[in-house]
């Protein structure tokens, strides 16, 4: 008895596939799904019409290996390639066999589905069956699914496929839940119409990959595949090779290295956007930026908080700098996702189109704030991917990329994971200093000495323009800041000490006078001892007794002329009160 027949004779095993997996008897028959007495069997066909190359064996709830390959036949390959034969339908790539079967069944002739037998992390070795086809990759909602989809898309485009990546969270699946296409149809009310609508949106939106050189190059830069190489001999450089390398290049000398992104991070109100705009306009004007030479060229600013805020700043800067002649500059408020190769490729094309339109090379692209140009967690995959995207953009265009970023809640460092600092060419803190100054200090400079600036905001019209107060090394900056902080702490401490002394003197006077009023003629020793232990020490009390006597508030009567004669203290009554008593 063959395996499909064994399955057909076991209602309990059929119920799992029909009720829990949502497969119809027709689908099971079409794809020859069976059971060998221990596991469900899924035949894997070679190519479009070849014979069976492998049989995948599945056991629900298995403690270790749910899916096994036939011994000696575990090659990573496409499954269900036969569905591609004789049609030009869109191809949906699922992450597993059951999802692919259910998707082909539900799409009912409007699309077909395939999968790889090596899991999301392993792209099938032979992708010729999908050459020149339109692919929609819909992997699971988890990190493995996201990275696997990117890998599959990059590999598919090398054989001429047009590949799009479907984000299943747009179709109602929870992010990072691990849910898949099967859950979309079985649990989330998914329908073929919804899936087809998302596929059409990808076609029209430009988020899908095209088969152009830009996207292929960005993907190669974005997806670092060095770990797959068995040797790095091609990367080894001799002393002569190193000495022949070109020195580091900068758009702003010492500040914005070419081929890297540089981030400027600070708390809200630190004026980092003013600093970024100031840099871009100095570059366009070809004017040294606060003492640092620039390479003149065009710039593009992607501003995520609206372009209206730039109006008064542009007018103020031009007025302050006597309206210099500027190279072309553009600003864009359209959202774009820099965590994907597609988003980076859109920026590249925008830059190229801008250069063709205005006839001048773009030397800097800026993004402010970074959080508006990324998806995912700043402390996790989102920061990992966006820093890859920024680096790929800088390398591909051979430009400097500038990023504005926020600090964490404590203001101690840039918000998000360490990738921002690690992958940057320059990592720059922007902060407000004493006297309303603006400080810029490099916490990292990959290609030179760490530098710093102290700038002064000047009111021009309804906005501000920054001018230079001091150009420093980072060490000088921190020493100056530490000295200023020390002086401020010393002043505050002195003021606090003086204030505390006044409070203590007032408290001592009050206690002493109250005790003398209640005990006229009390001796000094008893007076001081009676007021001790109430927040004021003995030395202060003794000095205040003498001060009150000197000020004429206390009157002292001594028993004799000797220096150590006993003293008795009385309140000095005002003149008016004394006259009334005498009368």
Highest-confidence range of 93-97, 198-202, 221-225, 559-563, by mean pLDDT?
Answer: 93-97
Enumerate the CATH 3.40.50.300 domain ranges in the chain, comma separated.
245-429
List of residues 6+ apart from 145 with CB closer than 8 A: 95, 120, 139, 180
- Count CA within 13 A, CB hemisphere, residue 134: 12
Higher pLDDT, 357 or 229: 357
Output the pLDDT for position 223: 60
Enumerate the CATH 3.40.1360.10 domain ranges in the chain, comma separated.
3-211
| CATH of 3-211 given 3.40.1010.10, 3.40.1360.10, 3.40.50.1100, 3.40.50.720 | 3.40.1360.10
Contact, 209 vs 164, CB < 8 A? yes
pLDDT category at 539 given cuts 50, 70, 90 is: confident
Contact, 83 vs 119, CB < 8 A? no
Highest-confidence range of 155-169, 247-261, 374-388, 408-422, by mean pLDDT?
Answer: 247-261
Higher pLDDT, 298 or 119: 298
Task: Please give the CATH architecture assigned to the domain spanning 245-429.
Answer: 3-Layer(aba) Sandwich (3.40)
Per CATH, the number for 519-582 is 1.10.10
Closest of 20, 55, 51, 371 to residue 187, by C-alpha: 20
- Report the distance separating Cα 195 and Cα 199, nearest Å: 6
Output the pLDDT for position 237: 84
For the stretch 53-89, what's the b/e string if a residue is b when 16 or more beta carbons lie within 10 angstroms of its beta carbon?
bbbbbbeeeeeeeebebeeeeeeebbbbbbbbeeeeb
Higher pLDDT, 53 or 438: 438
Enumerate the CATH 1.10.10 domain ranges in the chain, comma separated.
519-582
Output the pLDDT for position 119: 84
pTM of the shown model: 0.53
Q: Is residue 224 predicted with pLDDT exceeding 60?
A: no
Q: Between helices 97-107 and 192-205, what is the axis angle to 10°?
A: 100
Q: Is residue 351 predicted with pLDDT exceeding 60?
A: yes
| Mean pLDDT estimate for the chain | 86
Angle in degrees, CA 455, 458, 462, rounded to 5: 135
Mean pLDDT value of segment 52-80: 81
């Amino acid at each position: 008895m063959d395996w499909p027949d064994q399955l057909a004779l076991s209602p309990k095993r059929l119920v799992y596939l029909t009720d829990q997996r949502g497969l119809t008897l027709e689908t099971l028959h079409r794809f020859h799904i069976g059971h060998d007495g221990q596991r469900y069997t899924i035949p894997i066909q070679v190519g479009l019409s070849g014979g069976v190359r492998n049989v995948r064996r599945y056991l629900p709830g298995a403690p270790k290996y749910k899916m096994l390959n036939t011994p000696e036949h575990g090659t990573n390959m496409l499954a269900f390639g036969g569905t591609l034969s004789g049609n030009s339908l869109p191809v949906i790539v699922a992450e597993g066999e059951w999802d692919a079967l259910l998707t082909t069944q539900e799409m009912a002739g409007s699309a077909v589905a395939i999968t790889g037998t090596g899991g999301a992390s392993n792209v099938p070795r032979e992708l010729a069956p999908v050459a020149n086809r339109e692919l929609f990759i819909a992997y699971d909602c988890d990190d493995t699914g996201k990275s696997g989809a990117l890998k599959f898309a990059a590999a598919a485009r090398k054989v001429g496929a047009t590949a799009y990546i479907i984000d299943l969270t747009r179709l109602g699946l929870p992010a990072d839940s691990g849910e898949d296409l099967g859950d979309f149809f079985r649990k989330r009310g998914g329908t073929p119409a919804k899936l087809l609508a998302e596929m059409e949106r990808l076609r029209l939106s430009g988020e899908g990959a095209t088969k152009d050189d830009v996207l292929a190059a960005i993907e190669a830069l974005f997806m670092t595949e060095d770990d797959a190489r068995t040797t790095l001999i091609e990367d080894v450089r001799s002393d002569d090779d190193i000495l022949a390398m070109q020195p580091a290049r900068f758009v702003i000398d010492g500040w914005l290295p070419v081929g890297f992104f540089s981030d400027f991070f600070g708390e809200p109100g630190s004026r980092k956007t003013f600093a970024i705009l100031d840099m871009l306009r100095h570059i366009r004007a070809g004017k040294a930026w606060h003492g640092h030479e620039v390479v003149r060229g065009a710039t593009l600013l992607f501003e995520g908080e609206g372009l209206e805020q730039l109006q008064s700043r542009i007018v103020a800067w031009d007025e302050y700098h006597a309206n210099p002649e500027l190279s072309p500059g553009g600003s864009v408020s359209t959202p774009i996702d820099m965590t994907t190769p597609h988003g980076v490729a859109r920026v590249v094309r925008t830059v190229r189109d801008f250069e063709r339109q205005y006839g001048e090379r773009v030397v800097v692209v800026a993004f402010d704030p970074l959080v508006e140009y990324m998806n995912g967690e700043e402390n996790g995959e989102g920061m990992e991917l966006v820093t890859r995207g920024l680096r790929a953009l800088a390398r591909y265009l051979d430009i400097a990329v500038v990023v504005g970023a926020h600090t964490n809640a404590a203001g101690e460092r840039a918000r998000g994971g360490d990738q921002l600092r690690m992958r940057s060419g320059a990592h720059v803190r922007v902060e407000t200093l004493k006297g309303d100054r603006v400080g810029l200090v490099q916490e990292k400079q990959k290609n030179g000495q760490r530098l710093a600036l102290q700038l002064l905001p000047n009111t021009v019209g309804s906005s501000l323009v920054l001018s230079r107060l001091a150009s420093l090394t980072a060490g000088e900056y921190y020493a100056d800041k530490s000295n200023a902080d020390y002086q401020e702490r010393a002043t505050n401490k002195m003021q606090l000490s003086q204030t505390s002394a006044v409070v203590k003197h007032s408290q001592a006077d009050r206690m002493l006078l109250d005790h003398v009023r209640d005990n006229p003629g009390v001796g000094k020793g008893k007076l001081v001892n009676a007021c001790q232990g109430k927040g004021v020490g003995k030395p202060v009390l003794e000095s205040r007794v003498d001060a009150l006597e000197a000020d004429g508030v206390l009157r002292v009567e001594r028993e004799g002329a000797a220096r150590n004669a006993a003293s008795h203290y009385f309140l000095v009554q005002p003149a008016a009160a004394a006259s009334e008593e005498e009368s």
